[in-house]
């Protein structure tokens, strides 16, 4: 892949810079020095119309990024988006976008576009299921840092499209003291004191595994406490014990079948790594008319 031309940069300017970088890497990985199959079988001047099709129900996510793939390969391509990000497609074989342009560009960009929208829509769909499962409670569904390396910005976007809420972006924008930090620091209180001295004014969240550690975290003034790998019954006891003195997040071992029981404890948030590390991509296809 060559560097972006000025025109291509303008075409893609509606996307976040990080998105464009991911798109460029994905195209370079797939195309390399050129699509030798398409160059050999598709006439250079041929044009076509293709439809981006959801083959199963789910939440749409990544249409702009998928269609940007074709814009990168053919800046004169015409794209009609029929179903936008965040919308739920209820029927199989639903057309979400139509692409009209140079046939070589459409065929060459097909797999990258489908990989992106399929993966992101899978995450958005899984997130929507969890959000729907806790409807009527006051519990927020959060993502985690268990994302595909290099794709976090996209996968966090997909969680938001599914109705979830993004946790910290990385290690740089929030404090979350975990088990190994506590062990190295010498205890819950010591770890909280150390980060407060290092980062004064930044709210502290700490992971606890027992009511004893919970009490230590409260005594040290933690603003947010993560209840790690606790049963719904123990989470409920912790909610009662804290009585609003800190925000509580449950995490670890939560499934779609159990998430409602955790939410009904009154916990403020539930973080679920499976939203990004264990989802199945949605079945999406590109069909040339």
Q: Which candidate in 146, 168, 196, 260 is catalytic?
A: 146
287 is catalytic: no
Strand 204-208 and strand 175-177: pairing?
A: parallel
Give the whole-angstrom CA distance, residue 11 versus residue 13.
6
128 is catalytic: no
146 is catalytic: yes
228 is catalytic: yes
Q: Which candidate in 78, 178, 183, 241 is catalytic?
A: 178
Neighbours of 53 (CB within 10 A): 18
Separation in Å, CA 159 to CA 55, 62, 125: 21, 11, 9
Separation in Å, CA 199 to CA 156, 175, 192: 26, 9, 10
Q: Which candidate in 8, 143, 228, 268 is catalytic?
A: 228
Backbone angles phi, psi at 250, to 5 degrees: -100, 145
44 is catalytic: no
Query: Which of 265, 181, 175, 274 lies closest to 227, judged by CA?
Result: 265
Query: Which of 160, 157, 161 lies closest to 85, judged by CA?
Result: 161
Q: Which candidate in 205, 207, 213, 268 is catalytic?
A: 207
Give the whole-angstrom CA distance, residue 150 versus residue 21.
10
> What's the gap between Cα 79 and its chain centre?
25
Q: Which candidate in 111, 168, 196, 260 is catalytic?
A: 111
Catalytic machinery residues: 111, 146, 178, 207, 228
């Amino acid at each position: 892949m060559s560097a972006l031309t000025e025109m291509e940069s303008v075409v893609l300017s509606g996307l976040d810079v990080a998105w464009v970088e991911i798109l460029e890497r994905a195209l370079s990985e797939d195309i390399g020095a050129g699509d030798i199959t398409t160059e050999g079988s598709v006439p250079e001047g041929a044009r076509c119309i293709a439809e981006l099709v959801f083959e199963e129900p789910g939440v749409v996510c990544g249409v702009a990024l998928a269609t940007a793939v074709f814009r990168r390969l053919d800046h004169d391509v015409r794209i009609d988006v029929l179903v936008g990000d965040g919308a739920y497609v209820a029927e199989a074989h639903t057309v979400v976008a139509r692409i009209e342009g140079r046939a070589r560009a459409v065929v060459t960009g097909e797999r990258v576009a489908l990989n992106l929208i399929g993966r992101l829509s899978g995450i958005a769909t899984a997130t929507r299921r969890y959000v729907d499962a806790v409807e009527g409670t006051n519990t927020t569904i959060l993502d985690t840092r268990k994302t595909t390396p290099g794709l976090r910005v996209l996968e966090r976007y997909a969680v938001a499209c599914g109705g979830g809420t993004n946790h910290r972006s990385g290690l740089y924008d929030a404090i979350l003291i975990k088990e190994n930090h506590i062990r190295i620091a010498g205890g819950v209180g010591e770890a909280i004191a150390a980060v407060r001295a290092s980062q004064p004014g930044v709210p502290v969240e700490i992971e606890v595994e027992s009511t004893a550690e919970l009490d230590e975290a409260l005594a040290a003034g933690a603003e947010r406490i993560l209840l790690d790998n606790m049963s719904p019954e123990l989470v409920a006891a912790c909610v009662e014990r804290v009585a609003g003195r800190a925000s509580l997040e449950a995490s670890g071992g939560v499934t779609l079948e159990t998430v409602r029981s955790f939410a009904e404890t009154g916990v403020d948030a539930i973080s679920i790594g499976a939203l990004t590390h264990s989802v199945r991509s949605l079945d999406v296809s590109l069909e040339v008319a």
